[in-house]
Amino acid sequence: MSKPRPIVRRFVALTALSLTLAACQSTPTAPPVLDVPVASGGTAPALERWWTAFDDSTLSALIDEALANNIDLQTAMSRVDLARSNVLLAQSSLYPSLGLGVDPSRSRTTLAGWQPLPAGFNPIHNDYLVALRASYEVDLWGRYHAGAAAARQDLLATAYARETVRTAVTAETARAYFGLLAADAELALLRETLTAREQTIALQDELFRAGVIGDFDLQRAQAEQAAVTANVAAAERAVGGYESALAAILGRSPRQVFDVRIVREATPARLLGVPAVPADLPSDLLERRPDVKQMEAQLAAASLRIDAARAQYFPSLSLTASYGSESAALRNLFSAPGLIWGVGATLLQPLIGLKAIEANVEAETARRQAAVLGYTQTVQTAFRETRDALTANRTTREALAAQTERAGKLKSALSLAEMRYRAGYSGYLDVLDAQRQLLQAQTQQILAARDVRFALIDLAKAMGGGWDYRAVPASEGASQ
């Protein structure tokens, strides 16, 4: 029976060694290295307040209002506050707990088997206890440190999520504003055209009554007027839609959303001027994108939680201490004989329930794998959006130049058509056709100018504009 003892000792030693080595394992928190494109340019310009490049004080005021009152942004800020409190909760496990206990009690002792009773025996017993009690679980394997670090990474992730919302709010505010300006410009153009059509109809009616033109020319002119009237109604609907959308983004009250007051200067000339932007891929794109930084923090938190889950395999060491006074009489509670104290330690090794710990480790590992995939997909999206925005920035400017040239040519063509009509070389149908084409070209020019501004907004957003990427780690205490 004595021979198996060395085997048992070796088994215990190997088990202890394997547990110690497993305890020293840590899951990497860095994101995976991905195959990303080589940057075609240097560091992108400062984009924290990219909208100021439009030199539009109304736009700047609207974005400031949105950043102060937008509901989605306020919700994101509340999530940051929640994550900050979770950090404090996780860090509380790293420190001892101390409490003051006051335990008065009164009990009666059984009289059975005490016959006859001892002299002076009283079955009623009082006990008064006041003591300070302290307890502390030593973080031998880093379980609580890993949990606290994971909570800090969660806080950082929610801070980056807040900045992602901030970039979206600034972009959506600018898009709604420039969409509104374009709708205003289109409406103004259509109303001006409608006035001209009405004047033409009056002239054509006089010519018809005088027998100079036939019924065909008059009805075609009236049909063109009706078409412009329908377009005016559609443009008014577009203006109303942009106004209510912008009011909602700004976080205004329901009454203000219903009764919108957006003060702006709506002129086509103001819409046509657009600033220049960089046309290269910045080298620090992944640092500038808050959604990428958010996924990095979530991946780090998932890795740390694997370490915290794995630490449950190993024994826990708890220390306790108490100091106080106890007495059967309240008047003697704080006397010298009533002094009590105690210290203790408990070492607890899990034996049953290891499958539950294993399942928890596997679950946290699966969450980390999902975070890796989420990070990869977010980086992929970042480069796709940047490429699309760079392409749109180039092509929309080309389209605007072409539409501007087209509008100028058709304006000259209309003048020629009117001269030919007055000279009797062509019918009024040529004038109507020239007017229709010019109106279409001018409308497309306004929309092209709007699309250039939309492309600029998308490019600024794709490059991580709208927030200060250097301020978040320090402000949220990521290095603690």
User: pLDDT digit string (tens) for 108-133?
Assistant: 777 766 667 667 677 787 888 888 89
pLDDT band, very low/low/confident/very high, at 14 (cuts 50, 70, 90): very low
Q: Give the tens place of pLDDT for each residue, 267-283.
A: 555 666 777 776 677 77
> Position 231: which residue type?
N
- Average pLDDT on 419-434 reads 80
- Cross-strand pairs, 325: 130, 339
pLDDT exceeds cutoff 80 at 371: yes
pLDDT exceeds cutoff 50 at 1: no
Closest CA to 319 of 472, 165, 138: 138
Q: What is the DSSP letter of 132?
A: E
- Average pLDDT on 49-61 reads 89
pLDDT at 10: 52
Mean pLDDT score across all residues of the chain: 83
Query: Domain residues of the chain, as ranges?
Result: 55-94+145-315+355-475
What is the C-alpha separation between 47 and 166, in angstroms, rounded?
Answer: 13
pLDDT band, very low/low/confident/very high, at 18 (cuts 50, 70, 90): very low
- Average pLDDT on 402-406 reads 91
pLDDT at 11: 42
pLDDT at 148: 92
pLDDT band, very low/low/confident/very high, at 257 (cuts 50, 70, 90): confident
Query: 203 near 225, Cβ under 8 Å?
Result: no
What is the C-alpha separation between 414 and 300, in angstroms, rounded?
Answer: 66
> Position 41: which residue type?
G
pLDDT at 115: 67
DSSP secondary structure letters along 293-354: HHHHHHHHHHHHHHHHHHGGGS-EEEEEEEEEEEESSGGGTTSGGGEEEEEEEEEE---S-H
Q: Give the tens place of pLDDT for each residue, 28-40.
A: 888 888 888 887 6
| Number of Cβ atoms within 10 Å of the Cβ of 106 | 9
Sheet containing strand 124-138, edge to edge, reads 97-108, 124-138, 316-327, 339-348
Both structure tokens of 259: 């009764």
What is the C-alpha separation between 264 and 56, in angstroms, rounded?
Answer: 10
pLDDT exceeds cutoff 60 at 138: yes
- Average pLDDT on 176-199 reads 87
The three-class DSSP label of residue 133 is: strand
DSSP secondary structure letters along 90-130: HHGGGS-EEEEEEEEEEEE---TT-PSPPTT--SEEEEEEE
- Average pLDDT on 50-58 reads 88
pLDDT at 480: 46
pLDDT at 263: 77
Closest CA to 270 of 163, 394, 178: 178
Pick among 3.40.50.2000, 3.10.20.30, 1.20.1600.10, 3.40.309.10: CATH of 55-94+145-315+355-475? 1.20.1600.10
Q: Dihedral, CA atoms, 73, 77, 83, 89, nearest 10 degrees? A: -160
pLDDT at 466: 86
- Average pLDDT on 210-221 reads 73
Q: What percent of the chain has pLDDT over 90?
A: 34
pLDDT at 38: 81
- Average pLDDT on 352-374 reads 91
Q: Hey, CA dihedral for 354, 358, 363, 365, is it positive or negative? A: positive
Both structure tokens of 124: 């009623």
pLDDT at 348: 85
Query: 277 near 393, Cβ under 8 Å?
Result: yes
- More reliable by pLDDT, 23 or 218: 218
Q: Give the tens place of pLDDT for each residue, 316-340.
A: 889 999 888 887 777 777 777 778 8
> Position 28: which residue type?
P
- Average pLDDT on 202-221 reads 73
Q: Which residue has the tokens 């409608």?
A: 194
- More reliable by pLDDT, 456 or 16: 456
